[in-house]
Structure 1
């Protein structure tokens, strides 16, 4: 993180777009690895939307994420919404199949693979949600950092833990989403805003439901 937040001249620089873009591509690939019923419409619909929005973002705000404006903000939120819709649909369909039965959920290996992909998809979706909503998003965090954060990282609670001007980047929010999905509770990042508490609570509950149903059904099939 040092290269992003503490360059040689000592002034904070904006976050690079490539890390978030790479995980947009991962999110776009997941529907093609899952059965078609886990995608709304067709398996290429949301990936196509995500790809077009990503290209538009790269064109209007290339390199580092530092260009303010309603157009860029709208594109960013549209991208997060598309990723979230795909994750919500996949998770809902998986839970429905497990509760009501589906021929493709009767094979343990296929069930475990589908469950893992849907779970990963939800983690990526919540990572983008936290990243885009925390303190107004990456552009606002860079240009107009707030005194009171929505999500408090250890480096913000104790500035001595990081270089001056430290700010969270996408990878930090991805780690937050992963730990919240595995521990089912906050670990090192504390939600302060009500929306953050609600989002983390929903993610924890969703993760518990997915993991418990997938593992229980897989154990039953293997037994």
Structure 2
């Protein structure tokens, strides 16, 4: 007698549905740990190092001035809460925003100078400029990831410590924000069930895909400022990529 597949699968489904799923109320933040700044700090150190390695023609003033300022701001932010940030600090947030603005402005200037040199047909440093274009592109990814991380839903400290009912409006909609009615093993990791909040790695991925695809991928911008930032980032990445490709093709034709 052939067993009925539906009845055979039913106990397994029942067991799956009966499995304990660790769920927290969307209004509860008791299970969240304090903010970990190490990934963001490491990324900004990389951005500072990249700037220090750019060609002289793409750097403003003495080579080490901007990297030293950036490292100083990073250390100042880390000193306020060396391990996990559990409380809001206006001074720390202002220093974080100042650091992001400094990296963004200096990288924008480097991009403008790079565009001018890539366009100039008389330049004799084609390979060096192509390498510099890659450095500028990577810094672009890092600085916009830091901006998204610092601004979304009131900032990183607010996301980890504030009751969801009192969080600021979201700037981005992640896939975890939409997984509450899917398969049990997917639903268990959703924002509504597990009280998930995005970390720096999530924003770094958003920034990387936006710079690669020149548009949002799986994470959608919701607020006007998020759309503006993603538009500026995608435009900068597109211009850099187009110029690099054009320069590479012109180099091959010679």
Q: TM-score, normalised by structure 1?
A: 0.89
Match of 2:66 in 1: 46
Deviation at 1:102, TM superposition (A): 5.6
Higher mean C-alpha deviation, range 117-126 or range 64-73: 64-73
CA RMSD of aligned residues (A): 2.0
Identify which of 178, 196, 211 aligns with 1:157. 178
Provide the C-alpha distance between the structure 1 equivalents of 2:65 and 2:188, rounded to a whole number of angstroms.
44
Deviation per CA, 1:158-186: give whole Å up to 9, x if none. 24262611111111111111000011111
Deviation at 1:131, TM superposition (A): 0.8
Higher mean C-alpha deviation, range 159-168 or range 34-43: 159-168
Higher mean C-alpha deviation, range 135-144 or range 152-161: 152-161
Provide the C-alpha distance between the structure 2 equivalents of 1:38 and 1:57, rounded to a whole number of angstroms.
28
- Structure 1 segment 180-191 matched on structure 2, within 5 A: 180-191=210-221
Q: TM-score, normalised by structure 2?
A: 0.78
Identify which of 201, 208, 211 aligns with 1:171. 201
Deviation at 1:99, TM superposition (A): 2.5
Question: Is the aligned partner of 1:133 residue 2:133?
Answer: no
Q: Which runs of 5+ in 1 are unaligned?
A: 1-5
Question: Is the aligned partner of 1:121 residue 2:139?
Answer: yes
Provide the C-alpha distance between the structure 1 equivalents of 2:95 and 2:174, rounded to a whole number of angstroms.
26
Q: Which runs of 5+ in 2 are unaligned?
A: 1-23, 25-29, 181-186
Deviation at 1:222, TM superposition (A): 1.9
Between structure 1 and structure 2, the one with the greater Rg is 2
Deviation at 1:66, TM superposition (A): 2.6
Question: Is the aligned partner of 1:64 residue 2:94?
Answer: no
- Structure 1 segment 1-223 matched on structure 2, within 5 A: 11-101=31-121, 103-105=123-125, 107=126, 109-144=127-162, 145=164, 146=167, 148-159=169-180, 160=187, 162=189, 164-223=194-253
**Matched pairs, number:** 214
